[in-house]
Structures are given as C-alpha cells and as structure tokens.
A and B are shown apart, each in its own frame.
Chain A
Amino acid sequence: MEGLISLLINLVLPILLIVAALITGTIIEKRHYQSIDKREALLGNIVLLNGKEYPKDTPVANVQFVSGSVVISYDYFKRFLAGLRQIFGGEIKSYVSLLDRGRREAILRMKGKCPDADIIINLRLDTSSISKGRRKRGLGTVEVFAYGTALKFAGSPE
C-alpha cells in the first residue's frame, strides 16, 4: 500500500498533470492563434509605425491615444518544458509562443480601440514580469503592453 501511494505521488500524479496541461494548453493555444489570425486580417488596414513621423501633407481628421494590454501566465506544461530546456540551454520555444501570442493580442486590443484609424505612430511595446519573486520559483506572470497614437486621415474611406 505504501509503495502504491509513493508511486502515485512520485510518478502518476506529475505525469497526469503534465498530460492534462499539455492537452488543454495545446487546444487553447491553437484556438488563440486561430482567433489572432482572424482578427489580424480584420484589422490589417491599420499600419503600425514606431517612429514619430507621419504624412504631414495629408489632413488629419482624428487623433487618439490608444493602448492595449494582456497579462499572460505559463501553464504547468510550458513550465515543465522550460525547466528541461534550462538544463541544456537554447531557445525556450514554449515561452516564445506564449509571448508571441501575448504581444499580438496586446496589439490587436490596441487596434481594436481605433478600428477605423489609418496609422498608429510612435508605437511602444513593453514587457514586464509582474509577479516575479512572489515564490522562489520566480515563474512569472508577464504583462505585455502596447501603446501609440492613432491617426485617422481626412478623406479616407469610412
């Protein structure tokens, strides 16, 4: 009986957790990417520029400061993969895809606040770890924040 309990704690439980996180994580990621693709195509009319310049000869109809943010956190499976990756070194792909999703989501939310703008200038992107150090593990929750100035030109189609 003792052996079975230790087997359960040491082997079965972690594997179950990882498999469960793998399945749910994969499904969620796939759906999120699908939704990102769809919305990016929808809001693709807005051009992002991270400089201060804008076409000075075109009359501007509307100026708006826009921002979008998203807070993301790593699931058990991603953490597990990252933990193993940290032994051998190299790129932590599981985190890359999460941050990629987060960043694109933040930009989409920002764009969503000015759907009929033509360009967003002076775009800034900010990534900050907001819960690091809470536990010794330091497994973070990350905020991605995007902000810029949206311009709508006069005479462009509604």
Chain B
Amino acid sequence: MILTNIESVPGKKIVEHYGLVSGSTVRAKHVGRDIMASLKNIVGGELKGYTELLEDAREQARERMTKQAEELGANAVINIRFNTSSIAQGASELYIYGTAVRVE
C-alpha cells in the first residue's frame, strides 16, 4: 500500500479513484505511565511513554484505514491527513483519512 499526503503518487499514474477511507482510535494512557509522566514533568523533556502511546495509536488508525482501502481494491491512499484531538482528559483521538486510489 502506497501512502502519500499529496494529490498524486509521484512516478505513477492514478487510474481509479475510489473515495474516502479513514481509520480512528481513541487511546488512554494508563496510570503507571501517568505517574511516570508527572515525575518527568518536573524536569521536562520528552515524555517517552506518551510519544510511544501516540505512535502506537497512529499506527493502529493507519492500519484501519489501509484495511478499508484494501476492501475497495485500492493499492494506494493519497492526500492523507492526520487529526489528533484531545477529546477528554487523558484521552486522545487519532483520526486519519485519505482518498483510496489505484495506481498503475
């Protein structure tokens, strides 16, 4: 599956457009991570636990989107957009969407 966040797949010709595909997940960080993060907050710097969590979540959302694209018979998703929004305290939604296409 080719993924791009531009209108085309460079070097390849898009033959068919199938329409919108998307995937999402809402992830919670667990209490252990929370405690570690609050300790880390004192000294600042990267909160590795949270970075990892969001990476994982994004990966899961992306997988879900590609599954939809596969069902449509696409071999590429173009114009991918990520949307991260904090929907409640300690919970973030990762949403990804793009257009499923078939390239030559």
Contact = CB atoms under 8 A, between A and B. Distances in A.
Q: Verify whether A and B have any Cβ pair under 8 Å.
A: yes
Interface of A: 47-53, 74, 82, 85-93, 95-96, 99-100, 103, 123-129, 132, 137-140, 142
Nearest to A55: B17
B28 A86 contact: yes
Interface of B: 7, 17-20, 22, 24-33, 53, 60, 78-79, 81, 83, 85-91, 93, 95, 97-99
Contact of B99 (A51, A82, A85, A91): A51
A135 B25 CA distance: 25
Contact of A50 (B81, B86, B89): B81
Given A89-B28, A95-B91, A127 B83 contact: yes
Given A49-B19, A125-B97, A127-B93, A99 B88 contact: no
Main secondary structure of the interface of A (DSSP, over half): mixed
B93 A51 contact: no
Contacts of A92: 26-28, 91
A143 to B, nearest CB: 10
Contacts of A90: 27-28, 30
Contacts, number: 105
Given A49-B99, A96-B26, A86 B90 contact: yes
6 contacts: A51-B79, A51-B99, A88-B30, A103-B95, A125-B97, A129-B86
Contacts of A123: 20
Contacts of B24: 96, 99-100, 103
A132 B99 contact: no
Contacts of B81: 50, 124-125
Nearest to A129: B87
Contact of A139 (B30, B31, B89): B89
A88 B33 CA distance: 10
A142 B27 CA distance: 16
Contacts of B25: 91, 96
Nearest to B86: A129
A15 B86 CA distance: 28
